[in-house]
Chain A
Amino acid sequence: MHAAIIQFPGTNRESDMAAALRLATGREPKMVWHAETSLPSGIDLVVLPGGFSYGDYLRAGAIAAHSPVMREVAKAAEAGTLVLGVCNGFQALCEANLLPGALMRNASLKFVCREVKLEVVSADTPFTRLYGEGEVIRTPVAHADGNYFADQASLDRLEGENQVIFRYAEGTSPNGSQRDIAGICNARRNVLGMMPHPEDFTEEAHGCLDGLRLFKGLAQALEVAA
């Protein structure tokens, strides 16, 4: 697996993401500045990490979504390259129309930083292949704008096409998301966006390893593909 991590001004979770990818693959991910007009060659995973790109001005992820490098990310996604957006990365993927819907201000109007229970709704993605379907895992969240919104018809379609990948479980939704949605994928299942931070639960010192299987699953999926 050869991963690229996109850095926007205000991205701040790239080092944690790099550590998780290094742990799962033994390879160093490439850091790519948002102003780049091409992705490094041979990349098979693009990651948009968390943070506060452009200070969340206008709407979270809105300005990042129109950075020069995002045209290349869209092309890569179109070509089938895997794309993972976590937290601010998920917001940017929605703003870039690579995923449907939008992430609005948390219903509580508060920044929420705590652990949630997450149901893996579908194991049928390269991101979730090492989880059991319906398995409930632990992950931290840290966001002010994680309240997933799409109109009812779009929500029905997402559920019907099995594109809801993660849901907040056991009444732990931190943000008022429609249908407790925490993560979704595109129709082709190669672009995943999620608000919780799997990279935060990947080492013994984190106190939980539930996030590691996401990265190991990606590494496996890409080894098989290669």
Chain B
Amino acid sequence: MKARIFVTLKEGVLDPQGQAIEGALSALGFSGVGAVRQGKVFDVELEETGEPAEARLKAMCETLLANTVIEDYRIEMG
């Protein structure tokens, strides 16, 4: 199976990269842009499926893919 994992900064954690992108969008004339937050996407292929796969993906996020001090993650099973 294939899964997609989204890693984003937690609310309340400043995102200077997102702010710089927001500024660039405004400078390009895209009006009405609110806050922009930057994140990461991981596409992971797994042999397992269902619940065991989800449990393993969660472990991967907790161990390596996300730093849970500053980041949240969301798993989307394909």
Residues of A at the B interface (CB closer than 8 Å) are: 58-59, 62-63, 66, 94-95, 100-102, 104-109, 149-151, 176
Write the B34-68 contact mask toward A (1 if CB under 8 angstroms, else 0): 00000000000000000000000000000111010
What residues of A have a CB within 8 angstroms of the CB of B26 in the complex?
none
List residues of B whose CB falls within 8 A of some A CB: 13-14, 16-17, 20, 63-65, 67, 69-70
| Inter-chain contact A95/B20, CB cutoff 8 Å | no
Contact A107 B64, CB 8 Å, known A102-B69, A149-B70: no
CB–CB A102/B70 < 8 A: yes
- Interface majority SS (helix, strand, loop, mixed), chain B: helix
User: What's the minimum C-beta distance from A184 to chain B, rounded to whole angstroms?
Assistant: 13
B17, B64, B69: the one contacting A149 at CB < 8 Å is B69
Q: Is the interface of A mostly helix, strand, loop or mixed?
A: loop
Known: A105-B16, A105-B17, A107-B16. A150 touches B69 (CB 8 A): yes
Q: B31 to chain A: closest CB distance in Å?
A: 24
How far, in Å, is A151 (CB) from chain B's closest CB?
Answer: 8
